[in-house]
Amino acid sequence: MKVVVWLFVLVVLVIAGFLLFIYSGLYNVAATSPDPGFVQWIMSTTSDNSVRAHAKSVKVPDFSTEENAKEGFEHYHEMCVTCHGAPGVKPSEIGQGIYPPAPDLAESANEMSPAQLFWVIKNGIKMTAMPAFGPTHSDQKIWDIVAFVKRLPGMPAETYGAMVRNAGQKPEETTEKTETGSPNKPAETTPPATPPASQPGTQPATPPAGATNSQAQ
């Protein structure tokens, strides 16, 4: 009986200690203050195993065509390069200030399967700067991003730079597309309307009766 009582007291003390720590404000939540090693291990191990477990249900389609990768590049350069960087491109000031830092996908993309990359891009990861793109992007667009990301390891900086320049030189190929897949066309301007000319054979409007009588007099 005494053992049970002592165990109960121990549990109460542990809970009280955690609450005291939480409400004390001692833990530094600043992004400039790295977590202790054991906290980093707990978070990274939990995250890695969660991604592996949930990605098992993802069905991988045929996504790795050059056209898929081209479409994926446009999304990656618009949304992802800010934090992850690219071959020859450093993360922006925003990307350099987030914690934990976003992985360099040019080095780490091969460590994840296509299903895992898809799951992370679609759902995001809590307590990191990785957002969920599922609410704003279709599965097809996300697979396009995966197709490009899997090409990042080993990609020369010159190749990525050429893709950026080509996209800039041909804006018509990177314009936003409608749901049917065709680029939006510029609005057609309509010339100002001109007064209609009188047609031959038409009779002028009949003048008021008072005006006719005054002319007859």
Asked if residue 118 lies in contact with residue 142, where contact means CB atoms within 8 angstroms, the answer is yes
Superfamily of domain 53-174: Cytochrome c-like domain (1.10.760.10)
State which amino acid sits at residue 23.
Y
pLDDT tens per residue across span 179-199: 334 444 444 444 545 555 444
**For the packed helices 114-123 and 37-55, what is the interaxial angle rounded to 10 degrees?**
110
Chain centre to alpha carbon of residue 189: 34
Average pLDDT on 114-138 reads 97
pLDDT tens per residue across span 196-213: 544 444 444 444 444 444
Residue 1, pLDDT score: 80
pLDDT tens per residue across span 58-114: 999 999 999 999 999 999 999 999 999 999 999 999 999 999 999 999 999 999 999
Residues with Cβ within 8 Å of 130's Cβ and at least 6 positions away in sequence, in order, are 102, 120, 124
Dihedral over alpha carbons 79, 152, 132, 183 (to 10 degrees): 50
